[in-house]
Structure formats: structure tokens, C-alpha cells
């Protein structure tokens, strides 16, 4: 597949898109810290809560969703368990497999943080929408030029 050469308009669009994403990530990190969580802990809680409609998630799947190594996900899980935010369960079908669920305390924190994130996304939605277009009922990236 041949790749086209970026134009100045392409560079400007990519830079603006990256800027909008970075502003949202900065908001998210600050909101997590204000709620007493490390940003990675907040991300983990969201992954656990949102996984396959609320099903428990394995440590391996958590690692994949956070794009971190398995041993890092184990360490993160240990910290979440010690903080009273996550409980470990053994898979009924495979006792070697550990599954993770949020505690009520984590649910409460995540609900507050997610509400703030939804508000922020509503606020920056118009900035993000300039990079997307709907066609044939599918959202597509709007390329410049």
C-alpha cells in the first residue's frame, strides 16, 4: 500500500488532533489525581467496569486493554486490591485464572469520575467532531485536503 506524502494541511490537522486529545488526557489525569487515584488506576477501573458489559476481566485482558505488560498489570492489580478498589475472584471454569471485579468503593469513585469525563467530552465534542464525518451510517476520519 503506497502512502501519500503529508502536506502542510495534514501536519496542521494531525497537530491539532493531537492537541485536542492531549488536552482531554490532561483533564483526565488531573481529575483522577483529584479523586485520589493515579491515572493508571483510574484507567484500570474504567477498563474493569466497561469490559464486555460488566463481566469480570482477567489480569491478562486488563494488561491488553491498558497496553501494558502482564507483570505490570499484576502489580497494578495488587495496588488496587490493597486500596480496597478491586477484588480477585477465581474463574469457576478454570481455578488458575484470576478475574477482577470492582468494589462498591471503586464504583462510587468511578461514577463520579466518569460523570466529569462525560461532561468534558460534551464540552470538547465540537473540537473533536471537526476530525470526523459520518458516511453510510459509519463514523470516518475526516482527512484534510
Query: Hey, where are the domains in the chain?
Result: 8-141
Phi and psi at 57, nearest 5°, equal -120, 145
What was the pLDDT predicted at 75? 98
What was the pLDDT predicted at 88? 96
What was the pLDDT predicted at 99? 96
Q: Who has greater pLDDT, 134 or 129?
A: 129
CATH domain 8-141 topology: Arc Repressor Mutant, subunit A (1.10.10)
Q: Which residue has the cell 503529508?
A: 6
* Chain centre to alpha carbon of residue 10: 26
Q: What's the grid cell of residue 109?
A: 469513585
Average of pLDDT values for 89-111?
A: 93
Q: List alpha helices for 59-130, DSSP H.
A: 59-66, 70-82, 104-129
How many percent of the chain have pLDDT more than 90? 67
Closest CA to 131 of 3, 8, 20, 7: 20
Average of pLDDT values for 53-67?
A: 95
Judged by DSSP in three states, 119 sits in: helix
pLDDT range class, residue 7, cuts 50, 70, 90: confident
pLDDT range class, residue 144, cuts 50, 70, 90: low
What was the pLDDT predicted at 83? 97
Sign (positive or negative) of CA dihedral 109, 111, 116, 120: positive
Mean pLDDT across the chain: 92
Amino acid at each position: 500500500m503506497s502512502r501519500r506524502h503529508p502536506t502542510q494541511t495534514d501536519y496542521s490537522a494531525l497537530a491539532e488532533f493531537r492537541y485536542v486529545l492531549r488536552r482531554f488526557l490532561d483533564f483526565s489525569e488531573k481529575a483522577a489525581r483529584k479523586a485520589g487515584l493515579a491515572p493508571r488506576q483510574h484507567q484500570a477501573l474504567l477498563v474493569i467496569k466497561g469490559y464486555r458489559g460488566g463481566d469480570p476481566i482477567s489480569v491478562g485482558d486488563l494488561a491488553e486493554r491498558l497496553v501494558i505488560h502482564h507483570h505490570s498489570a499484576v502489580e497494578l492489580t495488587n495496588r488496587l486490591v490493597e486500596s480496597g478498589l478491586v477484588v480477585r475472584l477465581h474463574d469457576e471454569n478454570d481455578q488458575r485464572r484470576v478475574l477482577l471485579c470492582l468494589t462498591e468503593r471503586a464504583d462510587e469513585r468511578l461514577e463520579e469520575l466518569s460523570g466529569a469525563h462525560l461532561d468534558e467530552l460534551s464540552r470538547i465534542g465540537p473540537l473533536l467532531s471537526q476530525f470526523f464525518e459520518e458516511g453510510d451510517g459509519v463514523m470516518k476520519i475526516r482527512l484534510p485536503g
